[in-house]
Amino acid sequence: MIGGGQAGLAAGFYLNRLRRDEASGRSGRAPTFTILDASKDPGGAWQHYWPSLELFSPAAYSSLPGYQMPARDGDGNPSAEHVTEYLRTYEARYDLPVHRAVTVGSVRVSADGYITDTNQGQWTSRAVINATGNWGNPVIPQLPGGDLFAGQQLHTAGYRGPEAHAGQKVIVVGGGNSGAQIAADLAPVATVTWVTRKPPRYLPDDVDGRALFQIATRHTRALAAGEPSAGDVGSLGDIVAVPAVRAARDAGLLQARPMFSRFISSGVQWENGEQQEADVVLWCTGFRPALQHLQPLGLTARNGVPATDAHLVTRSVDNTGLFFLGYGDWCGPASATLIGVGATARDTVAAAAERAAHAPSEIS
Ligand code: FAD
């Protein structure tokens, strides 16, 4: 397994269970497994989020298989720090074999499966589950004049909270959850201009992570069954109105402007020539799956992500022993969420174990 964030740990839970079942005679041979993680500490992306970030849902609806997340002390949904602590405990509780500060540079096909090259040596396996998340691959659009801009360009991935930006003029770009949450986070201390490509669309105020999970699951199941879908989460809106966003929106602090067209030395400029000074342009423009290590495999792409099997959406169409877990709905409904990744992890582990039980030469 590559990646020891929430997705990798959920898969580790099910791999452990297979091994326990094997030991107790309840099932046949279970594969041995290793989790390789580039980070020196547990928690995946959660350890890098800004301090004020709260989950979309209460702890009871944000748990991985087997062990419920403890409730947070006090009001509100759990913080990113709370989730990091939960993942640290989860890893220890199930004694998951995570090898840390192991960065995978490449994966290649071998006669017996796969060769994984890392900064700490080589691993071989019959199957590889990729659970490397998106955090390591931020998307920063390139606009004319970027090299002229005297201020700082930052991405969500580099945002550590409002303190560093007190008194600054900050342009926050992006109409999704991170854009709205960071604009709300900065508004009390900085002069914020919020810029979005399309007018912001808030989900109804009573829609939280639980509802998102149910909508995503219903949508994916309907598509898989060839039935009409009532729509996916995107058809309802883009932004979850968590309390901090709702408060800033209702106070009139989240007035979005359309996208500017270029940088100038002191800030940015719109198509109509209007200019705005800025100390920082903060790109909340999302991420792509961190899959640079798979380049040697030359995978088929579909809609900008690796093409996967229609029956098991985590399995690569190019390599039957290669799986993708956690990145987004393309590899499992709500599989990028704590509550959603469990079911997909269970199915993926079953398929990977089945694949690992056979040498490639035995597979037609
Ligand atoms: P990650 O957590 O990114 O873990 C991937 C791991 O893989 C990392 O530890 C990394 O070090 C490792 N890795 C990467 N590349 C390599 C490599 N080449 N070699 C070795 N290791 C590697 N989800 C919810 O459920 N509820 C929420 O309320 C919620 N709110 C969110 C708010 C924001 C602003 C954001 C950005 C996300 C939110 N999410 C939420 C989504 C959730 O945080 C992520 O989807 C989740 O962290 C993904 O987990 P993961 O295990 O797939 O990836």
Q: Note the pLDDT tens digit of each residue in 127-159.
A: 999 999 999 999 999 999 999 999 999 999 999
Distance 336 CA to ligand 1 centre (A): 7
CB 330 within 8 A of CB 315: no
Q: Is the shortest distance between the CB of 215 and ligand 1 below 6 Å?
A: no
Q: Is the shortest distance between the CB of 133 and ligand 1 below 6 Å?
A: yes
CB 171 within 8 A of CB 282: yes
Q: Is the shortest distance between the CB of 130 and ligand 1 below 6 Å?
A: no
ipTM for the assembly: 0.99
Q: What is the pTM of this model?
A: 0.93
Q: Is the shortest distance between the CB of 37 and ligand 1 below 6 Å?
A: yes
Bridge-partner residues for 269, per DSSP? 262, 275
Spatial separation of the C-alpha atoms in residues 7 and 335, rounded to whole Å: 8
Measured from the Cα of 334, ligand 1's closest atom is 25
Looking at residue 171, its amino acid is I
**Minimum CA distance residue for ligand 1 atom 25:** 337
Task: Kindly give the interhelix angle for 243-250 and 177-186, rounded to the nearest 10 degrees.
Answer: 60
Instruction: Tell me the helices (H) and strands (E) count for the chain, helix number first.
Output: 6, 17
Q: Which residue has the tokens 């497994």?
A: 33
CB 124 within 8 A of CB 114: yes
Distance 362 CA to ligand 1 centre (A): 35
Measured from the Cα of 55, ligand 1's closest atom is 28
Q: Is the shortest distance between the CB of 42 and ligand 1 below 6 Å?
A: no
pLDDT tens digit sequence for 304-339? 999 999 999 999 999 999 999 999 999 998 899 999
Quickly count: other Cβ atoms within 10 Å of residue 120's Cβ.
Answer: 13
Bridge-partner residues for 79, per DSSP? 54
Distance 347 CA to ligand 1 centre (A): 20
**Minimum CA distance residue for ligand 1 atom 44:** 336
Task: Give percent of the chain with pLDDT exceeding 70.
Answer: 94
pLDDT tens digit sequence for 184-208? 999 999 999 999 999 999 988 887 7
**Minimum CA distance residue for ligand 1 atom 6:** 3
